[in-house]
Homo-oligomer: A and B are copies of this chain.
Amino acid sequence: MSGAFKDAAIRVERPAKTLRELALDKVREAIVNGYFRPGDRLVERDLCAQLGVSRTVVREVLRHLESEGLVANRPNKGPIVAQLDIEEAKQIYEIRGALEGMAARLCAERSSPEIVAALEEALTGIRNSYRDNDMAGVLANTSSFYQTLFTMVDRHVAWGVVNLLTVRINHLRSMTIKTERRGIEGPAQMSKIVDAIRRGDGEGAYRAAMEHVAAASAIAEAVLSAKKSAE
């Protein structure tokens, strides 16, 4: 074997993302970070102009986002940015709890220094972002923490599900993490997860993960109902 080629390490790494994928990312990002607000209409031809692509592409993007739950399609009236009602949000948190709990348990059961180290690295990232008041960083590192939880035990499908659901509550997440004391409690709860994993305590890791999500859910519910009554 000629050594250098036995793995694909030198592959040219095609940036050949199709226009459709680029547009998809743009619009999704625009929705999750609030450029388009829930209830806003997404007029195809307007999007064409804003994105600089054709209607064909825009339509495919809208379909895709629809199946992700970020966009709602009203028959004969066109797509709008999906509204998140409180009931749905609670269910999403509940599902995340079940799946993240499952992943945490698996991590604990096959606990290893690598897993613990990777999780602690993400956790440090979160603490640093809080310290620097970098809320976008907090979100990113939190995602990274959970991604580690799932991928360390090769649960890519479950991670995909969690990721899919998470984008739908993204603006909620960005509100919960700004809550008073969350900068201390959040990392503390995650630290409990890591501790349980370190000592191989599956049940403890499961419960700790559930509790963390439950706390986030409670805050989200409070925020959401506060916002609702303010309208």
Listed in ascending order, the chain A residues whose CB lies under 8 Å from chain B are: 14, 16, 18, 20, 56, 59-60, 63-64, 67-68, 75-76, 87-88, 91-92, 94-95, 98-99, 101-102, 154-158, 161, 165
Contacts and interface: CB of A to CB of B under 8 A. Distances in A.
A23 B43 CA distance: 23
A14 B158 contact: no
A14 B76 CA distance: 12
23 contacts: A14-B75, A16-B76, A18-B75, A56-B56, A59-B60, A60-B60, A63-B63, A64-B64, A67-B67, A87-B154, A88-B157, A91-B155, A92-B157, A94-B155, A94-B158, A95-B102, A95-B157, A95-B161, A98-B101, A98-B102, A157-B165, A161-B161, A161-B165
A59 B60 CA distance: 7
A41 to B, nearest CB: 18
Contacts of A161: 95, 161, 165
A165 B60 CA distance: 22
Nearest to A155: B91
A97 to B, nearest CB: 9
Contacts of A165: 157, 161
